[in-house]
Amino acid sequence: MIRTLVVDDEPLARRRIRRLLQPVGDVEIVGECGDGRSAVDAVHATRPDLVLLDVQMPEMDGFGVLQAIRAGAMPAIIFVTAHDRYAVRAFDVHALDYVLKPVDPDRLSVALARVRGRLAERRGAPPDRRLIELLQDLTADRRYVTRIPVRTDGRIVVVDLGDVDWIAAADNYVILHAGPKEFLVRDTLGKLERDLDPDRFVRIHRSTILAIDRIRELRPDFHGDFRVVLTTGASLTLSRTYRAKVEAALGRRL
């Protein structure tokens, strides 16, 4: 049996995939998840053979899920995506399996047939190299923001992100905290997160991003949360929703 995990933030999409897989005799659905963090936990807990993985999810997308999964626990992946030409091109280049939304049963059958052959070949083998190469290429193609112009007191100050300790959301603005200074920028935290180098910055809460090298210690808090103490002395909340991102950034499980 192919033990399968279904990951999609849309309940209707999960229901459709479940319905399409139900008559497939050699597929057993071992769980479903509606967000990236839950998906990472479920992969480590259930060790599925296959994950049908939604690419576009808020907070932690499908690529973030792959980055957070321990190397030895990497299952086979069928990506599920809307009409994202960039993602589809990347999948085609690396010969990775994907289906477009709404999921077509024939296309899903073709992807499952490929997975069957791949699983038969890789029993006991290392993780699929193509997934690793995909993540490397996606990272290499990105150009991350290193300096941000900020309008203040009738002039424009260019803030070097190397000086920024953490970033807070403030409605349609973000606040850059750089030592004792604060800079207000008209931007959303979600958009800024996509522009930042993930090797330098990590989101720890729906309203907070911090510089990884400013982390001094993490203290367990309530309900799976942590308090993150920075080298500046600032104390911030690490929500369990974003815990996998911090684990990936630090290279360790918390």
Tens place of pLDDT per residue across the chain (254 aa): 999 999 999 999 999 999 999 999 999 999 999 998 899 999 999 999 999 999 888 777 888 888 888 767 789 999 998 876 667 777 877 778 899 998 999 999 999 999 998 888 765 555 667 887 877 776 665 678 899 999 888 899 999 999 999 999 998 899 999 999 999 999 888 888 878 888 899 999 999 999 999 999 999 988 889 999 999 999 999 998 888 888 888 877 77
For helices 36-46 and 243-250, give the axis angle rounded to 10 degrees: 70
Q: Are residues 202 and 244 in the same domain?
A: yes
Number of domains making up the chain: 2
Bridge partners of 27? 2
Q: Are residues 133 and 10 in the same domain?
A: yes
**Which phi and psi (to 5°) does residue 45 adopt?**
-80, -40
Which of 57, 55, 53 shows the shortest CA–CA distance to 42?
A: 53
The CATH number for 65's domain is 3.40.50.2300
- Domain stop point among 123, 141, 159: 141
The CATH number for 213's domain is 2.40.50.1020
pLDDT at 136: 72
Q: Are residues 15 and 119 in the same domain?
A: yes
Q: Are residues 51 and 173 in the same domain?
A: no
- Domain stop point among 90, 121, 141: 141
Token pair 């029993």 is at which residue? Answer: 123
Tell which phi-psi region holds residue 223, choosing left (phi > 0), alpha (psi between -120 and 50) or beta. Answer: left
Report the amino acid identity of residue 243: R
Which of 206, 167, 225 shows the shortest CA–CA distance to 58?
A: 206
Q: Are residues 52 and 99 in the same domain?
A: yes
| Residue 103 domain boundaries | 2-141
Q: Are residues 65 and 83 in the same domain?
A: yes
Q: Are residues 129 and 178 in the same domain?
A: no
Output the CA–CA distances (angstroms, integers) from residue 30 to 4, 52, 87, 191, in the order listed.
Answer: 6, 12, 27, 34
Q: Are residues 25 and 60 in the same domain?
A: yes
Q: Are residues 181 and 98 in the same domain?
A: no
- Domain stop point among 141, 158, 188: 141
